[in-house]
Amino acid sequence: MYCEDSEWTAVDHFVPRAMDPEQAFTWANYLAACSICNSNYKREEFPRRTDGTRLLLNPVEDDPWNYLVFSPATGRYEAVGQSDMATESIRVFGLNRASLGIGRKDAWDVLQLAIVAYGNAADRNDDEQADRYRAVVTRQPFAGVLKAIIRTAGSAVPLGLSDECLAALAAHPEIQDWPEALFAPDA
């Protein structure tokens, strides 16, 4: 739920049990997390503002794209504006640890290649191969990188995207729906 890197191996109590023991029995408080995010970074941290409201993004309730921007050059997330929620979430979840930056940069490159391959297969009417590339794209870790590619392609200056990837995205608008399909109940 936090880093998008690996399969979940732990269940995080978003609001730590020590802070609010009653939340330990609330299903909505259980989030799938990798053990690195859960045990090495977030642990029992749950920063709050002085008024008591949380300072962590809850990926079930908050759209991270309203708070975070992805840099393909570094593989890092940065806060949109002066968002204290983004800054604290990046820190507490360890979202910019070195291994994640490398993984996201690799995903940026690999996803572009797979999108181009999908476009080529679709243009040849090779539905079987196109479906295979669509499956490869949508099963990759770092789903946020796919969303960043699509958002970047729609921006005024699509920096970091190859001309071939931009052409495939323009010719196959169905690709824009792939990130949402990742989180659909049947995905």
Domains of the chain, residue spans: 10-96, 99-182
* Mean pLDDT value of segment 146-157: 93
pLDDT at res. 182: 64
Q: Which helix (H) or strand (E) holds 119?
A: helix 98-123
Q: Residue 183 pLDDT more than 80?
A: no
Residue-wise pLDDT for 94-138, tens only, equals: 999 999 999 999 999 999 999 999 999 999 999 999 999 999 998
Q: What is the spatial distance between Cα 46 and Cα 52, in angstroms, rounded to a whole number?
A: 11
Q: Which amino acid is at 68?
A: L
* Residue 179 binned pLDDT confidence (cut-offs 50, 70, 90): confident
* Mean pLDDT value of segment 59-88: 93
pLDDT at res. 187: 43
pLDDT at res. 154: 92
Distance of CA 67 to the CA centre of its chain: 12
Q: Residue 24 pLDDT more than 90?
A: no
Q: What is the spatial distance between Cα 57 and Cα 90, in angstroms, rounded to a whole number?
A: 9
Calculate the alpha carbon distances from 10 to 35, 36, 60, 146 in Å.
Answer: 5, 9, 16, 24
Residue-wise pLDDT for 85-98, tens only, equals: 999 999 999 999 99
CA-nearest of 151, 139, 150, 119 to 182 is 139
List of E strands, 24-67: 30-33
Q: What is the pTM assigned to this prediction?
A: 0.88
